[in-house]
Amino acid sequence: MASGVKPRVKVPKTAAAGEAITIKTLISHKMESGQRKDKEGNVIPRSIINRFTCEFNGEMVIDVTMEPAISTNPYFQFEATVPEAGEFVFTWYDDDGSVYDEKKTIEIA
């Protein structure tokens, strides 16, 4: 599943120091649950993104353990505190060992 995976992240460009901001993330992934069968009746093996993290300047915002019940093209929305200017790092961990990441910088206005 390492091909065709594309993250989308929405972070404001600026914030006031200490402000709470809303972050939205979306990534394209089949999230094959391991529950489905193919036409021959064989179980299609599970292949999902099993963990998502968001860090800001090295400090954790949210760390999510994901199970097969998370929908195709996983979506998360959450809130982060922005103490200073810096960089958000978003990381998705695939069952197959692939790691996808995305970075967004934010300025203090």
Partner 1 sequence: MELSRRETLALGLGAAFLTIMPLRANAAAEDAIAAFTGGADVADGGVTLTAPEIAENGNTVPIEVSAPGAASILIVAAGNPEPGVATFNFGPLAAAQAASTRIRLAGTQDVIAVAKMADGSFAKASATVKVTIGGCGG
Partner 2 sequence: MNTKALTAITAILVFPVAVMAGPDEENLVINGELDMTSVTKAPAHLENLDTIYSGWHFRTDETQALQIDDFDNPAMIFVDQAVDLFATVDGAAGESCASCHDGVESFKGLQASMPKVDAESGKLVVMEDLINRCRTDRMEADAWKWSGGEMQGMVALIGLQSRGMPMNVAIDGDAAPYWEQGKEMYYTRYGQLELSCANCHEDNWGNMIRADHLSQGMINGFPTYRLKQAKLISRHNRFRGCIRDTRAETFAEGSDEFRALELYVASRGNGLSVETPAVRQ
Residues that bind partner 2 (CB under 8 A): 4, 6, 8, 10, 24, 26-28, 71-73, 75
- With CB cut-offs between 5 and 8 Å by kind, which of partner 1, partner 2, none does residue 59 bind? partner 1
CA distance 80 to 93: 21
The residues pairing with 27 across neighbouring beta strands, listed in sequence order, are 7
Task: Round to whole Å and give the CA distance between 48 and 66.
Answer: 8
Interatomic CA distance for residues 26 and 92, integer angstroms: 10
- Residue 62 or 108: the one with the smaller Cβ distance to partner 2 is 62
Phi (first) and psi of residue 75, to 5 degrees:
-125, 135
The binder of 69, among partner 1, partner 2, none, by C-beta within 5 to 8 A per type, is partner 1
Binding site for partner 1 (CB under 8 A): 20-21, 33, 35, 55-56, 59-72, 74-81, 83
Which of 28, 50 has the CB closer to partner 2? 28
